[in-house]
Structure 1
């Protein structure tokens, strides 16, 4: 995609500073009609799945100029809080407040319920076991369940210590963040038991977890403008650290800053660098190995609620919509509701020279 979004130049001029440019960002056409809760790119092409509070999962196709076209959608019985693709890009699953997960087969158009819980399904992921697609669901009923698409009952279940708030998987690693700051790590080679549980290294409520590209660890974001880098194995604990982000200094008081929730963390599929995005309406790219911010971007006019890189890492999608932090009454038509596509140009997401080689 050398002509991505009309920005074929790979000049490093903008990269010489840490201020990023959003002038070439493109809007998704016909975005959801209510807050956007999740974004997920297919591993097989530039197809973007979007979960939203209007009870729908939409699938868009994005061409090399950044233009989008709606290709499919399905509706659920309540707001959809999470969505995910099958590895082969033929199926999309959504998890809803209606306590179910539903899957769409894109080739046939067939929709079917594939999972159920006793409370809201907050997170869905798709994995492969023995070459077969499986859905993993995390719920506010404090359970993780595994679903074989050929069966109507779960093939496995894990009891978590609290309600599931966030979940991510990479290779054999499944990480679950719950209420009360518990974080469970599961080795999918032994999916029915928790490999390790820790208290979040951050002092406030966990908002998001996201696995490293090499599955050796994960990043954690909290409601209090902090991010933590955490490795799975004890031998790597010396590499753990946390840092402040998504904060705005009060210009009138030197020691006072406004803090914002870190709503989304996404890892670049090629470089292993990562993004954070928050309720302050900004996103940033970071190099965890060099402990360095690569780029920071200006406010986009509303809270960023979800982010995703495409499979080649040259598109960064971010959703701008109400984050529900002030309750139902603030979800008005004045709130923005859009999805932007940011072309990754030049050195924006490349690790800092001299950092750890991947």
Structure 2
């Protein structure tokens, strides 16, 4: 029995590698424009969704039924969202160069600005430093900034190689992906201002997403070329680095030609350490990186997938079906789907293969 009270289909049982989306349910009252990011609270099944409609929405999910709790409003598109370590505060970053926060225990106080940059803020994450939350922001002004949430002045500012496109954190690990394929890796416990590694992505085309392993020993990279790379931080583990093709489709008219799609999202399962990829082809997949094996592949969902996230216990996988702007403004249209779907994760869908080590 799944979280939403339904069981796997007969087709899924007959083909263990084929996933089923028939039990997936939509979030009520989704954003009105493309969804840029999804994030779950660690305190409960509260989901935040940032959108190009200039708002970040917060929903509560109970037994598969969602309800809106509050919104954060920007002057320009909202591009990223995250939660405090205790799951009680939600953050939203936007093209208006600002980050706003709402305390879910005091929603009546409204939103509060907690960070600012000189250009669009594309990324926002939380680090825990000396037992306290530290906000880190990444911007198109080619800097990352650290904030302690009590001051309007950043605690530190670091100039990176190019505009920040993607960023993720886990424990003391901070990974920043920028334009021109640069990746900068920081150990915030030793020196948050100087990267321990600065390299160009092993993938040949523009970086779309970075996502840290659960144990902070490395990170995954996705690019616009339909490839994913697994990278370890320590040089002694570099022999385990590898990349693989994904989110590609054979041309029906020419088997020698493959259609290549962007890997828009990578999310790690919080319990099993396996991970998902989702892309512009409108599919998502679950993978075991240690076994170098695809666990499940899912059918097309009717539009590009622009954002994904597992909830705190890995029982719900949220994915956003909306335009990802990969074809510019001319690729969008009023009839393009715009929704957030909740996929109940079955008991075996994300479990690693027997014998795989969990990271």
TM-score range, shorter chain: over 0.9
Q: Deviations over 1:194-241 (max 9, x none)?
A: 111111010000000000011100000000000000000100011000
Query: 2:227 matched to which residue of 1?
Result: 226
Q: CA deviation at 1:72?
A: 1.1
> Could you list the runs of 4 or more consecutive aligned residues of structure 1 that deviate by over 3 angstroms after TM superposition?
8-13
Mapped to 2, the partners of 1:10 and 1:232 lie a distance apart of 40
Mapped to 2, the partners of 1:8 and 1:246 lie a distance apart of 27
**SS across alignment from 2:237:** helix
Q: Matches of residues 118-267 of structure 1 in structure 2 within 5 Å?
A: 118-189=118-189, 190-267=191-268
Unpaired segments of 5 or more residues in structure 1? none
Q: CA deviation at 1:252?
A: 2.3
Instruction: Give aligned pairs, total.
Output: 356
Mapped to 1, the partners of 2:312 and 2:14 lie a distance apart of 22
Query: 1:319 matched to which residue of 2?
Result: 320
Query: 2:104 matched to which residue of 1?
Result: 106
Q: Deviations over 1:63-117 (max 9, x none)?
A: 12x1101111110111000000001111111110001111111122231111111
Mapped to 2, the partners of 1:334 and 1:13 lie a distance apart of 31
Q: Deviations over 1:235-271 (max 9, x none)?
A: 0011000000000001222210000000000000000
Query: 1:296 matched to which residue of 2?
Result: 297
Residues 12 and 346 in structure 1, CA contact (< 8 A), matched pair in contact too? no
RMSD: 1.6
Mapped to 2, the partners of 1:61 and 1:163 lie a distance apart of 34
Mapped to 1, the partners of 2:129 and 2:228 lie a distance apart of 31
Give the TM-score of the pair, scaled to structure 1. Answer: 0.96
Mapped to 1, the partners of 2:184 and 2:322 lie a distance apart of 29
Q: CA deviation at 1:7?
A: 2.2
Mapped to 1, the partners of 2:282 and 2:201 lie a distance apart of 24
Mapped to 1, the partners of 2:150 and 2:36 lie a distance apart of 28
Mapped to 2, the partners of 1:12 and 1:310 lie a distance apart of 26
Give the TM-score of the pair, scaled to structure 2. Answer: 0.96
Query: 1:7 matched to which residue of 2?
Result: 6
**SS across alignment from 1:4:** coil
**SS across alignment from 2:199:** strand
**SS across alignment from 2:210:** strand
Query: 2:51 matched to which residue of 1?
Result: 52
**SS across alignment from 2:266:** strand
Residues 167 and 210 in structure 1, CA contact (< 8 A), matched pair in contact too? yes
Q: Are the structure 2 counterparts of residues 113 and 191 from structure 1 closer, same or farther at C-alpha, using a change threshold of 3 Å?
A: same
Q: CA deviation at 1:128?
A: 2.2
Deviates more, 1:265-274 or 1:193-202: 193-202
Unpaired segments of 5 or more residues in structure 2? none
Mapped to 2, the partners of 1:134 and 1:103 lie a distance apart of 13
Query: 2:31 matched to which residue of 1?
Result: 32
